[in-house]
Structure formats: C-alpha cells, structure tokens
Structure 1
Amino acid sequence: MSIEQLPDSAGQVVSANNDPRHTAAEQPPAFLQSRRGLLKGVMAGGGAAAAASLLAACTSGHNTTSTAGTGNFASTPKWRFVFVNHVTTNSFFVPTRYGMQDAAALLGVADPQWTGSQGGVVSEMVSSFETAISGGADGIAVALTDSSAFVEPIKAALAAGIPVIAYNATAPNNYALAYVGQDLYQSGVLMGQRIARDVTSGTILVGISQPGGNNVQPRLDGIKAALAKAAPAVTVHSVDTGADQAGELSAMESAYQGAQDAKGLYAVDAGSTAGIAQLIAKQGIAGKVHAGGFDTLTDTINGVKTGALDFTIDQSAYLQGFLSVLYLYLFRLSGTLVFPPATDTGLTFVTKDNVGPYASAGSRFEGGTNKALVPMPKSITLPPPSTVQL
C-alpha cells in the first residue's frame, strides 16, 4: 500500500474475513477499535497511569467537541499535533498514520499533520519542524534520524511551550520529552543472534536504507556486534539501498549479482526487506539462501509465508503514532503532570509459525484497511519470561 492510499477516518470498513456479506453496521465503534490499540500499547511499554486515566474516560463515551471535553476529561481545544518524518511517502509508516488518526479520533483532537522529507533530507525535516513552531503547533513528534540537527529546534519548541516527543528514531544529547519506538541497537543484536543460528561462516549482505541514520544504523551495528561474538567467521557486507523505497529492490539485486555466493540476504529497514523477498522470488532461490529483516510490508509477509524469508521483525509501527498522540495530549491536559514515559514498542519475530494473522487479517494495526476486530486465538503463546529483578 502506498501512502497516497491511506484512507481517512471515514474510510470503508472491511470485515475480518473480507466477506462482503458483512457490513459496516456489524462492526464495533471506532473508539473501541482504538481502545484495543491502547491496550496493546500499555503492554508494550508502560505508561500505566496515563493509560488508566484514558480507559476510565473511555467508559463514559466519546465526545469529539471541544466544549464538553472527552469522556471524563476537562474541556480542551482541538489541539493540533505535527509529526515530522524522514520518509513521508514510505509505506512502512501507513500504520503509524493510522495510529495517529485513531488516537486523535479517540481523544477529540484534530488529525495530526504529517510532514517532513520524502527522501531523508535532514534540512527539510528541520524546516518542517521550525514551521510547526512558528505555526503554533500544540505538540510535535519527530523522528530523530540526525543526532545534532534537532537540538536547537527542540529547545526552541520547549521554550515556546510546545512539547516534543521522539518517535521511530532517537538520538543522544537531545531534549525530546520521551522516545516512542523500538530499542534499535538491541533489535540488531537479537537479529544477529538469530542469523547466527543459520549462518556460521561466509558472507552475508545487509541492506540499509540510510547508512548512518539513527533509525537504521544502530540495527546494523547491533548485528555486527552479535555476529562478532556468536559467529565470527561471518563477514557482513552492507548495501546502501537509499531512502527511496522504489529503488531498494534494484540496489539489492545489483549487490546480489556481484555476490551470488552470499550465505544470507538481510536488511535493517522495511523497504530493503521487502526488496529481498521480491529478489528471492524472482531468482527462485527460496530455501537456497537464508534471509530476513524488519517490518511487515505485504511483500515481506508474503515472503515469510512462502519461505523466501526465515523471519521478519515487527516493531509495531501503529503504536509509534498512537502513543505519541496520546502522550502529547495527556502532557498538555495535565499541564505537564503526566510526563510521557519512554516506551519500547517491542520486537516480535514473525516466522512461518505465527505469520497467519499478519497474512490474513489485513488490519489497520499492520497497515491494512480492515477496521474490524481481529479475532483472538484460542490460546496465547507464552511470551519470554519476565526479567524484572525483585
């Protein structure tokens, strides 16, 4: 799905099994669907006090007007939040934008503005950030793909009373109130450990859309660190696939043509991973080379389902939009008393064993158009045991 296909909050409702006999009237109210996303967010990264307040409000109904307030909350303006992104047309962020929309509808604020750069140009992102400040935004969420460019703009926003949250990527020595997104380096470490189960020597190719970018470089660094310990005979050859999603397949194809003895094809971003799945299908080499990557684009999920990819990693792009809006709202509503918590949106290895719902549900939570409740399984797989020290 391209970003241009993103339906608005009044988009068509599709049933869970895509059966045309099901109608919109049979679907649950939108705020219940959004509340389901909130519950997922609580489990993913904390914010228990904030979420408890919102759940209490949800029990009293939903009011989108600014005069009566939302649920049990005080009356508020229709606050306007702005998201500054590094690849605004990349299909990875479709569920992020759905999450923004759903949270805004739940809370009765305006749909957040989506702006930034199409091609990862930091100066364009900074310009969009500064425009948000001068335009009197009520809150800003920014992907901190660069470590220094946003330091002064964030200071200026906070000085003007505009809260700022980092999402999808964070950076050291910056001043965003919180980060909502995956632990990027650790995700790379875990991916490297997973690769070492299949590849113990030889060369692997690893696609990366923006070398040096804070959203992807930590993953590559984590992969290298993990393999240095678990499989030191593996050589990692990184492939710069570029920020333009349309060019990532050709970049991986070109790299593979020069390294057909590679033991594995991997990637640290959504577009490169989808490109690898397409490459393996075109070359007919499924099962002959190990492969995997990140995120849940359609080609990627199909690749896992057919065996072209051993795995992909889900970082819950939906929560990165939903929780950022929720946290900005509560911070303003409470006059800074409900401080946004740093939230790890998680890491789930999607394999043939658990790809079913990803492939069939078509859910907004993963970038599809289906607004219906996704059926719960009869049993829930045990998560990893708690590591909390008592």
Structure 2
Amino acid sequence: MTAPRIPGPQRARRAALRPWVAAAMLVPSMALAGCSSEGGRTEAQGGGEGGGQVAQTDPMKIAMVTHAAPGDTFWDTIRKGAEEASAKDNVEFLYGSDPEGGRQAQLVQQYIDQGVDGIAVTLAKPDAMRDVLDRAEEAGIPVVSLNAGENEFQDVGAFAHFGSNERLAGAAAGERLQEEGLEHPICVIQEQGHVGLEARCAGVKEVLPETEILYVQGTDMTQVSSTATAKLQTSSAADSIIGLGAPYTMTLLGAKESAGSGVAVASFDMNGELAQAVVDGDVLFTVDQQPWLQGYLSVDSLWQNHRGAFKIGGGQPTLTGPAIVDSSNAEEVLEYANEGIR
C-alpha cells in the first residue's frame, strides 16, 4: 500500500508506522464467505468456505462479541476474516453484538455459560467489560481483544490485542490534512464515550489544534445528517470534516451538499462505496485499520493458544493499521473493498 507523503519533521512518526504494515502482510488473502451483521443479538455461525485444508486439530468453539451497531457494514468485514480463520482452524464460530456496554457484557456471560473455548471481544467501553472478563478468567477461558482497547486489554485479562493505535491513526489523519493546507477540521464522533473514536479525534487535534469535535447519534443517520448540515451551515472557519466510519462519511458527503459547503471530506475505515468516493475525488483520503485482519487474527490467535499455548504479540498490541488510502492507491484497493475484504 502506498504511504502518505510526510515532510521531514514528521518522518519519525512515519517510521513508527512501518512495522504495522509488515505485521499486516503476515496473513495471506483467501477466498471469503459472505455474512451480515446485526446489533443486539447472538447467533451461531459455521466456519464458512475458506481456502486451504482444514486443520486436523480437535474442534473448538470460539465466540466473538463486539459493540457493532445495527447496519454498520464495517463489522461485516471483521466477521469475514473471523469466519475464514474459523474454517481453516476447525472452529465453530459464534458471534454476538450490542453497542451498549452492559448488554455486550451480558452476551459475553452467555458464552461463558456455554463453555466456549475462547472469547474475542471489543473494548470500546472497557469498564463495562471488566467484571465479566474476570469471570471468563475464573472459568479458564482465554480472551483476546480486537478493534478497540489497545491500551486496556492487559488490564482486563486479554493476552493479545489486534487493531490500530487510534491516537496515532488520528495524528496520521491530521498530518495528511496538514499536507493539503487544511487547519480547521470538524471531527465527527458517532458514539460519545467510545475510547477509540475519542482517541482518533484527539490525535487529529494533537496535530491541528483548531480541530472541532462534533458529537452525533450514530444509530440515527437522519440525525447525523441534520446535525452535520447545521454545523456546516454555521461554521465559517471549518475547512474540512472527518467521518470516523465509512457509512457516516457517506452521510457527511450528503450533509456537505445540503449545506452548500466547500469543505474537504476525509474518513476513517473502508467499504466499497467509500473507496469509490476516494477514486472519484469526493473524499480526500481514508485511514484504513484493515478490519479483516482483526477478525482473522483474533480467531487464529485463540486457536494457536489452544493448540500450543502460543501468545501472539508478546504482551503488546499487534497493529493492523493505520494505512492511508488516497488517490494514489484507492483503485488498487477498490476491488477488495467491493468484495468486503477491505
């Protein structure tokens, strides 16, 4: 993937990002099975139709519990990675999600009660998960975290974490905006209190101190649109707006048009529609955390731990991003985004 151009004073930060790309290259891409994501539910999910021979290890059962909101296609990509690893590893894969921390913890408890062999969990609201993950440890069930919680995973008993360093990802976005001569972005957070989203905007603000934070209700796209439109109509200083997820960024594009605004639009995360918007020049860039890898590595690490007591990462987060996708490389990833790999 082509990296963003960063001037001399910022090369040290750029150098720090290089090992993340190397880690991401450890996992080959394979044929994927389709899936869908819904919030507030649990379901049993078979291994799928991944490529290669199925492992000859004993069958095991792994549950993934995320904070996915209904309709957010980002989580479909994570599930595809998890399902392909499950197919390879002879794993029965179970999935549940709820954006509310207390209900997410209840889903984890259900899987503990079922006696699963491993749990992968997101830590968007880590305090809500501490007690139930203590109970997983008491039950002898190993835990890894993914996507959110790179600073908290060890405190709640997870032995590995797979995701992006969100504050550095935000700083990378700020630096990319700075290259374009933009200084006053609006950073739109769709879930107040989500540690990863807050860290992204904090990272942008670290580079661009005039960054404004706008909170919206991510479960209501009509509200996202109206709030962003009103902000763009009244904020004469803003020169750019950043969405923290692909569906929200596409909504922000509509809000920009409704407001008659000339701000630049940037994003985090990826789907086919957003990749096309980058190709078309409607979105300046997106910061991709490569979620397929997060799902794949979470399941595979629990399998590796089960078969040989392996612990990937050596107690440190295994980073899957950030990776900048802009006009220089968007066409390269578009095909994969349309397939749900990116």
- Superimposed CA distance per residue, residues 106-135 of structure 1 (whole angstroms, 9 cap, x where no aligned partner): 11211x222121xx2111101111111111
> Is the 2:117–2:142 contact (alpha carbons within 8 Å) kept by the matching residues of 1?
yes
Distance change >3 Å, CA 266–CA 333, structure 1 → 2: same
Larger mean CA deviation between 338-347 and 354-363 belongs to 354-363
> Is the 1:210–1:216 contact (alpha carbons within 8 Å) kept by the matching residues of 2?
yes
Equivalence for 1:326: 300
Matched, 1:182 2:164: yes
Instruction: Give, in angstroms, the shift of residue 204 of structure 1.
Output: 2.5
Equivalence for 1:62: 53
Matched, 1:339 2:308: no
- In structure 2, C-alpha distance between the alignment counterparts of 1:324 and 1:164, rounded to whole Å: 9
Summarize the alignment of residues 1-390 of structure 1 with structure 2, pairs less than 5 Å apart: 43-45=22-24, 62-63=53-54, 70=55, 73=56, 75-77=57-59, 79-89=60-70, 90-110=72-92, 112-117=93-98, 120-170=99-149, 171-172=151-152, 173-199=155-181, 201=183, 203-228=184-209, 235-244=210-219, 246-247=221-222, 248-280=224-256, 288-334=262-308, 336=309, 338-341=310-313, 342-361=317-336, 362-366=338-342
Structure 2: any 5+ residue segments left out of the alignment?
1-19, 28-51
- In structure 2, C-alpha distance between the alignment counterparts of 1:292 and 1:204, rounded to whole Å: 9
Structure 1: any 5+ residue segments left out of the alignment?
1-40, 49-60, 64-69, 229-234, 367-390
Task: State the secondary structure of the residue aligned to 1:150.
Answer: helix
Task: State the secondary structure of the residue aligned to 2:252.
Answer: helix
> Is the 2:267–2:285 contact (alpha carbons within 8 Å) kept by the matching residues of 1?
yes
* Letter aligned with residue 157 of structure 2: Y
Task: State the secondary structure of the residue aligned to 2:135.
Answer: helix
- In structure 2, C-alpha distance between the alignment counterparts of 1:211 and 1:246, rounded to whole Å: 15
Deviant stretches of 4+, over 4 Å: 45-48, 281-285
Q: CA RMSD for the aligned pairs?
A: 2.4
- In structure 2, C-alpha distance between the alignment counterparts of 1:204 and 1:45, rounded to whole Å: 29
- In structure 1, C-alpha distance between the alignment counterparts of 2:182 and 2:69, rounded to whole Å: 38
Distance change >3 Å, CA 222–CA 42, structure 1 → 2: closer
Larger mean CA deviation between 260-269 and 159-168 belongs to 260-269
Equivalence for 2:17: none
Instruction: Give, in angstroms, the shift of residue 317 of structure 1.
Output: 0.8
Larger mean CA deviation between 156-165 and 296-305 belongs to 296-305
Distance change >3 Å, CA 348–CA 188, structure 1 → 2: same
Task: State the secondary structure of the residue aligned to 2:127.
Answer: coil
Distance change >3 Å, CA 249–CA 301, structure 1 → 2: farther
* Letter aligned with residue 214 of structure 2: V
- In structure 2, C-alpha distance between the alignment counterparts of 1:166 and 1:46, rounded to whole Å: 20
* Letter aligned with residue 116 of structure 1: S
> Is the 1:277–1:299 contact (alpha carbons within 8 Å) kept by the matching residues of 2?
no
> Is the 2:163–2:294 contact (alpha carbons within 8 Å) kept by the matching residues of 1?
yes
Q: Percent identity?
A: 23
Equivalence for 1:384: none
Distance change >3 Å, CA 298–CA 258, structure 1 → 2: farther
- In structure 1, C-alpha distance between the alignment counterparts of 2:227 and 2:275, rounded to whole Å: 20
Instruction: Give, in angstroms, the shift of residue 313 of structure 1.
Output: 1.0
Instruction: Give, in angstroms, the shift of residue 298 of structure 1.
Output: 3.3
Q: How many residues align?
A: 290
> Is the 1:207–1:240 contact (alpha carbons within 8 Å) kept by the matching residues of 2?
yes
The TM-score with structure 1 as length reference comes to 0.69
> Is the 1:85–1:116 contact (alpha carbons within 8 Å) kept by the matching residues of 2?
yes
Instruction: Give, in angstroms, the shift of residue 91 of structure 1.
Output: 0.7
* Letter aligned with residue 101 of structure 2: V
Task: State the secondary structure of the residue aligned to 1:296.
Answer: coil
Instruction: Give, in angstroms, the shift of residue 167 of structure 1.
Output: 0.4
Distance change >3 Å, CA 340–CA 183, structure 1 → 2: same
Equivalence for 2:43: none
- Superimposed CA distance per residue, residues 89-120 of structure 1 (whole angstroms, 9 cap, x where no aligned partner): 3111111111111111111211x222121xx2
- In structure 2, C-alpha distance between the alignment counterparts of 1:91 and 1:236, rounded to whole Å: 27
Task: State the secondary structure of the residue aligned to 1:62.
Answer: coil
> Is the 1:209–1:242 contact (alpha carbons within 8 Å) kept by the matching residues of 2?
yes
Equivalence for 2:13: none
- Superimposed CA distance per residue, residues 30-70 of structure 1 (whole angstroms, 9 cap, x where no aligned partner): xxxxxxxxxxx99325989xxxxxxxxxxxx614xxxxxx2
> Is the 1:278–1:299 contact (alpha carbons within 8 Å) kept by the matching residues of 2?
no
